[in-house]
Amino acid sequence: MSYEREVRKRAEEKCELCSQAEPEKLGMYIVPKTPEYIEGEGTTILACTKCSSEFDAEERDENHWRCLNDSMWSTAPPVQVMAWRMLHRLKSLGWSQDLIDMMYMDDQQLEWAAAEGDAEDKADALVHRDANGVILQAGDNVVLIKDLRVKGSSMVAKQGTAVRRISLDHENDTFIEGKVDGIQIVLITEYVKKT
């Protein structure tokens, strides 16, 4: 790598995340999903074997990663991106969320950091499914498969009525919202079919 010298100079021969300074334990790490417009030392960090071995590991040494309290303030974008990603991977810990809340990144860096999907909480994500088990997403169109009485009014939403551009209830996977005859109503997913 022709830019390795620049990365090592920027890092002052220390891991850019935890400050490990043993040269035999340091190596170049190319940050995944780097945008094409970023080149050279802007794509890479100097990381120790401890840090790089835990980037994608299932189990991580929580105390080791408290080093992000310092490294998240780096002026080097790839270091900020990896600090942000690791903080999100440790989000179940209270201190990690506190650090995430303090971080500042410009829009392009934030987009780069989020490209790995670390900010998405997949474990707790609700999945809305229609009567046939098809996954519903915000903006989908559905059709009612049963006549439904609308609570609080005399209106009956008829079977076959199209509901366009639904929105999802983020607290309950059995509810969606949409407009029927110009009125916004809550619908139960088991009574709709995606079109």
- Please indicate, yes or no, if residue 123 is contained in any of the structural domains: no
Shared domain for 110 and 138, answered yes or no, is: no
What is the extent of the structural domain holding 62? 4-114
Shared domain for 57 and 33, answered yes or no, is: yes
Q: Are strands 135-136 and 128-129 parallel, antiparallel or unpaired?
A: antiparallel
Query: What is the Cα–Cα distance from 64 to 53, expressed in whole angstroms?
Result: 12
DSSP bridge partners of 149 = 156
| pLDDT tens-place values along the chain, 195 residues long | 578 999 999 999 999 999 999 999 999 999 999 898 899 899 999 999 999 999 988 788 989 999 999 999 999 999 999 999 999 999 877 788 889 989 999 999 999 999 988 776 554 567 889 999 888 988 889 999 999 888 888 888 899 999 998 988 878 889 999 998 888 899 999 999 998
**pTM reported for the whole predicted model:** 0.61
Look at residues 49, 82, 114 and tell me which one is the last residue of a structural domain.
114
Short-list 55, 48, 41, 52, CA closest to 13: 48
Instruction: Give the count of domains, the chain.
Output: 2
